């Protein structure tokens, strides 16, 4: 991420305080994460209004569910970004096809910057073992929130082909990343 990555231990402390209904902790969490989460939501929802609505729901959800966060070390950021991504996917339900699918396809790229942690290096190595089409499908779905129908339109391939790329991409990734 282009800003200093939030420290998971600090996020966990803030979540524990949110679980105790300390409103000040929610505010600190919001300051630390909202610019990052808004960027994520904008990329998936492509409307500032929708993305800001989703952002609200995410923090209200985090506030209410903080007590259910089981503090597995190092997971706080993954937990919160997942809440945001799933919220965006739910908000996409029933929408029409996006305009500007081609622009979305062009901007989707595998992570290019120099990786530092073990997880990042592992993912980059495993993504590089996929075919270009498989990688492209998974990255479009994950980063841009495109459905398989939308990926098929944006890549100009039949839906069945896209589904099989996604399926094979996921199983190769699982095999490579280990379980």
Partner 1 sequence: MNYEQYPLREQLAGAYVVGTLRGRARIRFERSCTASQSLRVAVRRWEDQLMPLLRDLVPVTPSARVWERISQRTKSGTAAAGRRAPWRWALAGALALSLLVYVSIRSIYPPYQVVAALGQDKVHPVWNVSRSEDSHSLSIRALQHVESNPQLAYELWALPRNGKPPVSLGLLPRSGSIKRALTTSQQAALLNSDHLAVSLEPSGGSPTGSPTGPVLMVGDVRAPS
> What SS3 state is found at 110?
coil
Q: What minimum distance in Å lies between the beta carbon of 152 and partner 1?
A: 11
Phi/psi at 6 (nearest 5 deg)?
-60, 145
Tokens of 65: 């569910």
C-alpha pair distances (Å), 114 with each of 32, 36, 145: 23, 19, 24
Closest CB 154 distance from partner 1, rounded Å: 14
Nearest to 168 by CA among 125, 124, 136, 123: 136
**Could you list the residues that contact partner 1 (CB under 8 A)?**
1-3, 5, 21, 23, 26-27, 30, 34-36, 38-40, 42-43, 52, 55-57, 59-61, 63-65, 67-68, 72, 75, 77-79, 81-82, 85, 89, 93-94, 109-113, 115, 117, 119-120, 122-124, 138-139, 141-143, 145, 147-148, 166-167, 170-171, 173-174, 177, 179
DSSP 1: -
Q: What does DSSP assign to residue 20?
A: T
- Residue 78, C-beta contacts closer than 8 angstroms, at least 6 positions apart: none
């Amino acid at each position: 991420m282009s800003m200093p990555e939030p420290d998971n231990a600090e996020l966990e402390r803030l979540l524990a305080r949110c679980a105790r209904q300390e409103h000040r902790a929610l505010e600190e969490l919001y300051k630390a994460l909202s610019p990052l989460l808004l960027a994520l939501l904008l990329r998936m929802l492509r409307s500032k209004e929708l993305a800001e609505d989703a952002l609200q729901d995410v923090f209200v959800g985090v506030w209410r569910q903080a007590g259910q966060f089981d503090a597995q070390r190092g997971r706080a950021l993954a937990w919160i970004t997942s809440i945001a991504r799933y919220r965006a996917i739910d908000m996409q339900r029933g929408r029409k096809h996006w305009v500007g699918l081609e622009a979305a396809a062009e901007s989707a790229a595998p992570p290019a910057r120099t990786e530092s942690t073990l997880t990042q290096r592992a993912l980059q190595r495993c993504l590089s073992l996929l075919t270009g089409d498989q990688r492209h499908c998974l990255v479009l779905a994950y980063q841009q929130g495109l459905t398989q129908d939308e990926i098929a339109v944006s890549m100009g391939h039949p839906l069945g082909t896209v589904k099989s790329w996604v399926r094979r991409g996921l199983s190769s990734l699982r095999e490579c990343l280990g379980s």
